[in-house]
Amino acid sequence: MDRDEIKGIIEALLFAWAEPLSIKELCKLIGAESEEVEIAIKEMMDEFSYEKRGLQIIKMDEYYQLATKPKHYEYIKELLEPSQKKGLTRATLETLSIIAYKQPVTKAEIEVIRGVKCDKSIHTLNEKGLIEERGRLEKTGRPILYGTNIQFLKVFGLNSLEELPEINELDLLTETENEIKDIFSK
């Protein structure tokens, strides 16, 4: 395998993985010697710098990662900002709460509790990575069971689901909030 082919494979691996990869992992994946891979990466780093490209390869100990150059931060920020500003609607938060407290739960069970369809909310929660499929219920139609995941814990600053407040401990002040409390006790 020639060096240009090795460079192409390295670039593809670093791009596809999006996390740091060690020289050892790269060598194993490519089937090349460590020295050969290190030389290819060094050349790639020089080429990326010389050609004034938007990407760079960064080194962290014995790990390498493909990343954007800091000088392009403002452009990337502009691209990503609208999606980062989007929060969760009340309907989506209600759906997430039901999933968090009742998991594993089917879409139909969520809809019975909320009294409305929840397709869009489930799609949004899946898209944001806050819920995941936990299998299928063994009954007609084999409906999907949903549950929260590690991203949910991370976003809400929880170490485990046990840290969710007890429904009866919540300070519910309005009639609507009391209705929500009743829903969770079903």
Q: What is the CATH number of domain 90-184?
A: 1.10.10.10
Going from N- to C-terminal start, the domains of the chain cover 3-72, 90-184
Q: What angle do CA 81, 85, 87 make, to 5 degrees?
A: 150
CB 21 within 8 A of CB 66: no
Q: Hey, do 3-72 and 90-184 end up sharing a CATH topology, with the first three levels equal?
A: yes
- Check residue 172 and give its pLDDT: 45
Share of the chain above pLDDT 70, in %: 87
- 61 token code pair: 């100990």
pLDDT tens per residue, range 40-49 = 999 999 999 8
Query: Where would I find the beta strands (DSSP E) of the chain?
Result: 21-22, 55-60, 63-68, 105-106, 131-136, 144-148
Domain 3-72 fold:
Arc Repressor Mutant, subunit A (1.10.10)
Q: What is the pTM of this model?
A: 0.48
pLDDT tens per residue, range 162-171 = 998 887 644 4
